[in-house]
Structure 1
Amino acid sequence: MPTDFSGKWILETNEKFEEYLKALSMKPFILMGLICLYMAVENPLSLSQTKLVVQDGDNFDFKTPSTFRNYELAFTVGVKFNEYTKGLDIRNVKSLVTWEGNKLVCTQKGEKANRGWKHWLEGDKLYLELQCEDVVCLQVFKRKE
């Protein structure tokens, strides 16, 4: 039985997100500034990020609602799919999510090299490692419900 990622998760920490956005060549830079403000959990003026995960075996639905842009990603582990990253860098990538032990690992093929992400659980924390080229961003979420 795969690890159950289902739940509501609230962002606690966010390391190297701005560097990650730069590696993605985010444009326009105003959008990057807004996202950085939005994601900076140590800034009391920022909004918190919530991630909603619904899982049914190997079928996943990730939703990240926000004031600026909503992002939704639905996929089945082991099945390649086309992903339009409208909530981030507005690109089309070919994605494949696989299990590596208890981690969900996504490889994304497109304009940027070495791109993808990993999700895993440790206790009541959800970890998300985002990678593009040689930059790795680590986000940690705490279970809300």
Structure 2
Amino acid sequence: MTSRTGAAGAAAPAAGGRRAEGGGVSQLSRPEAEVLERSRAGPPGLLVRRGARCSSRPPRTAPGSASTLLAATSRALRLGMVPNLSGYYRFVSQENMDNYLRALDINVVLRKVVCLLKPDKEIIHTGDHMVIRTITSLRDYVMDFDLGVQFEEDLGPVDGRKCQTTVFWEGDQLVCEQLGEKRNRGWRHWLEGDRLHLRMTAEDEVCVQVFQKVK
């Protein structure tokens, strides 16, 4: 099922500028500079929260306008400031999935089924366009979107809701904000070596999954 309506490198340049072809330095735009600074912030910290075991909580930053996000993302990709996430990833582990699903009002029978699944991830990342396919023995879920462009995401296969969704880069992390009925809903992906991390949030619950890149 595809959810779309229109729709985690290289050495970084010095802060505030980038090397031009002739050897000079041209100025980065403010969104580019912000993306560069965030990309140097390092790995996410850890949050130990009552009701969950242990999960990572990188800082949250509200997205700007769609045009600003899209422009910043495009130029950040060209400057090599964000990774290319393309690949096929095998499930390794997860934490707190049951409580995350409970926050989405998923019934107990379906929660037990989902908690037994070991999903794979396939990501096709081409410039500003991405396709993320979550593959399970129960059903597949496909996100097909342009970075920085808000679209209506049909989450019917998950919990029957629709969200206004925007996916954008925050440093070297791919961030998704899903605006709708549930507060604090969204996710973020980032790479640590050959391992893809996924942190999903809904209300006050956090679920973390880890995947190993196999190709």
TM above 0.5:
yes
Partner of 1:3: 83
Give distance in 1, aligned partners of 2:92 and 2:157: 20
Give distance in 2, aligned partners of 1:26 and 1:142: 27
Report runs of 4+ in structure 1 exceeding 2 Å deviation.
Answer: none
Q: What is the aligned residue count?
A: 135
SS of the equivalent of 2:116 reads: helix
Give distance in 2, aligned partners of 1:61 and 1:90: 21
**Identity between Structure 1 and Structure 2 (%):** 39
Give distance in 1, aligned partners of 2:157 and 2:193: 28
Note the aligned Cα RMSD (angstroms): 1.1
Higher strand share: 1
Partner of 1:74: 144
Partner of 1:17: 97
Larger radius of gyration: 2
Partner of 1:36: 115
Alpha-carbon displacement from aligned partner over 1:92-138 (angstroms, at most 9, x marks no partner) = 01101111001111111111001100011110010100000111111
Q: Does 1:129 align with 2:209?
A: no
CA deviation after TM superposition for structure 1 residue 65, in Å? 2.0
Q: Return 5+ residue gaps in structure 1 as ranges.
A: 39-47
Using structure 1 for the length normalisation, give the TM-score: 0.89
Give distance in 1, aligned partners of 2:83 and 2:145: 16
Q: Does 1:139 align with 2:214?
A: no
CA deviation after TM superposition for structure 1 residue 86, in Å? 3.1
Give distance in 2, aligned partners of 1:58 and 1:3: 12
